[in-house]
Structure 1
């Protein structure tokens, strides 16, 4: 993209940025929460583009000034300073252009949302449940390192430990945009605790990451919901099996069922269950978008395609392989301990390259 045409495109967005800035201070707009939130997000996205545009324009101006000094200046010291400035700015220009091109491509509108994550033990029986538990602890430690909050809504423990299934909510900044790369089948190769011959077994667990729906994203009528209460089970103190605090919600039109029992209060359990219910209803529609982009980008796995193997954790060799980008690292113990950022960063880089390629076609 030529420098002039890129600047023209960026200059055209400045007026929209100013217009949105005015709109979000309008009392009528503020009263319409759905529109207000949408405009706030647009303002935040445009602000990044305007900042990048100003930096780009300043860099081009510095290059022009440095070239002028090289042609007109007679002082050797000034000419040397101009030459260094020209080299520095010219070197920064390609990275700035790449950054701007990425900002101009519409991002996944769900990236800034919180996420609901579900992990289910797959093939491998008890060992799969133990591996699901390992994955859950891995995500807990990773989320802690990011300053995100985790809240479990439902779990079913394995007979020998771990989880047959665990569902939890993650809240923080850009949660879904980061964790969405974890959707798919995770495979483990190791010697199970129950194995007496020392043979390596292969087990699997599925991970699904869903963008959490806001209240205004989907309209769920109370009349469409059946509410069941029951005694909670598992850890929880004296209230376990004595009060009907656990909640099960059934959305009659879709048949979607969710339940929550981790809070002692029935009201709190219902509130958390409603968040998950809205999310699952919303994701029935969002799934169409996921299916579309996952067919184009190898970094994204459709959360509906539970058979798509994305990563292997090989304990005997101490390696982790992400099959989508053919990445292998030999720091399995660190990864299982929550050190996921390097893998996610490389997936983001790969996806950005694919997004740029899509935009050029």
Structure 2
């Protein structure tokens, strides 16, 4: 029999205090006024005369409304939790009402986590879309399989959050797994959330390819860069790129189609190579390649200016021992642990099979924000 969830008035008071803090530092009164102003402007004659400006205004209006609505929903949930708990007391401790209150309290806590997380996203691209690339590191065939496992984990995570995913490139490797994966994620705060995943991921398990069933440690690297907004234009000369086309294929070796639709774009001055084979036509795949190439060239320019990649994806390190940000141990015990913030769980299936990454991402950003505040205080 499943254990009943419980909560207490003191726990609800603590949530109420956190909710008040969220209302203050998200400046929700200002956002309510801003939303009202934007609504008035969107109803004015000639609003759509400048399409780009209109879309930008509507996007801001949507964000303001979303922040306010999330807060109001959480406050209503908290009120429902208090009512259920009080009614339970009046009825002599009704367990169903206590569990109902606990479930509502859990939803409030998750909503507060989301709002706190959004408030930490102060980077230029944090609220936008992301391009994620996964590559095998040390470990040979095992690393290729590990890359595919991570790819599936992120697909599940994106689905949980309701984000749209476009797989740009995911060629099958020889033997098992994949050579790499590149995909674009569209959704609220996608880049801000996923930049917590940038770095080296380590897997420890019994090797499925080893007849002696020995323990194997393998690595894969995750890169996360932002999709550039339309108002940032990166010029790429046609003389600086080489475009190659070839047959597309997917994980497991199945053919996507029988034409030369896959595209590889090489930027000759920098040596950056981007491949895309998800779309049915060369034109679509080339367009996707150019979007990713421009994002990587922008990142490279930031690196030149600041002499660091920390703004976008963290320092560049070898995908191997000593550089991991998170360990996934399946044997001799089961544990997933983030080595930066210390968050861990023994429920590895929830992480790898179900894509339950929010606790890790929230914990990382809380840790990173705390470190940044400490540095400012010094």
Can you list the C-alpha shifts for 1:283-302, whole angstroms capped at 9, x where unaligned?
A: 223454974559xxxxxx61
Give the equivalent residue in structure 1 for 2:363.
Answer: 346
Give the equivalent residue in structure 2 for 1:324.
Answer: 340
Q: Which residues of 2 match residues 294-333 of structure 1 at below 5 A?
A: 302=314, 304-307=316-319, 308-316=323-331, 317-333=333-349
- Which residue among 156, 159, 164 is the counterpart of 1:141? 156
- Which residue among 249, 263, 275 is the counterpart of 1:259? 275
Measured in 2, the distance between the counterparts of 1:289 and 1:31 equals: 42
8 Å CA contact 1:227–1:247 kept in 2: the answer is: no
Flag the 1:41–1:105 CA change in 2: closer, same or farther, 3 A.
farther
Please say which of residues 214-223 and 342-351 is displaced more in the overlay. Answer: 214-223
Question: Is 1:284 aligned to 2:286, yes or no?
Answer: no
8 Å CA contact 1:139–1:338 kept in 2: the answer is: no
Flag the 1:112–1:271 CA change in 2: closer, same or farther, 3 A.
same
- For 2:170, what is the secondary structure of its paired residue? strand
Flag the 1:303–1:48 CA change in 2: closer, same or farther, 3 A.
farther
Task: Please report the TM-score for the alignment, with normalisation by the length of structure 1.
Answer: 0.69
- RMSD (Å), alpha carbons: 4.1
Please say which of residues 317-326 and 345-354 is displaced more in the overlay. Answer: 345-354
Give the equivalent residue in structure 2 for 1:211.
Answer: 226
- For 1:151, what is the secondary structure of its paired residue? strand
Task: Please report the TM-score for the alignment, with normalisation by the length of structure 2.
Answer: 0.66
Q: Which residues of 2 match residues 114-133 of structure 1 at below 5 A?
A: 114-133=129-148
8 Å CA contact 2:139–2:219 kept in 1: the answer is: yes
Please say which of residues 121-130 and 260-269 is displaced more in the overlay. Answer: 260-269
Q: Which residues of 2 match residues 85-124 of structure 1 at below 5 A?
A: 107-124=122-139
Which has the greater radius of gyration?
A: 1
Q: Which residues of 2 match residues 1-361 of structure 1 at below 5 A?
A: 107-221=122-236, 223-234=238-249, 237=255, 239-240=257-258, 243-287=259-303, 288=306, 291-292=309-310, 302=314, 304-307=316-319, 308-316=323-331, 317-341=333-357, 342-358=359-375, 360=377
Measured in 1, the distance between the counterparts of 2:47 and 2:236 equals: 25
Flag the 1:216–1:257 CA change in 2: closer, same or farther, 3 A.
farther
Measured in 2, the distance between the counterparts of 1:340 and 1:324 equals: 18
Q: How far has the Cα of 1:133 moved from its partner?
A: 0.8
Can you list the C-alpha shifts for 1:281-327, whole angstroms capped at 9, x where unaligned?
A: 22223454974559xxxxxx615334531011110111111100122
Please say which of residues 267-276 and 119-128 is displaced more in the overlay. Answer: 267-276
Q: How far has the Cα of 1:121 moved from its partner?
A: 0.9
Flag the 1:253–1:21 CA change in 2: closer, same or farther, 3 A.
farther
Unpaired runs of 5+ in structure 2? Answer: 1-20, 73-108
Unpaired runs of 5+ in structure 1? Answer: 55-94, 295-300
Q: How far has the Cα of 1:254 moved from its partner?
A: 3.5
- For 1:140, what is the secondary structure of its paired residue? helix
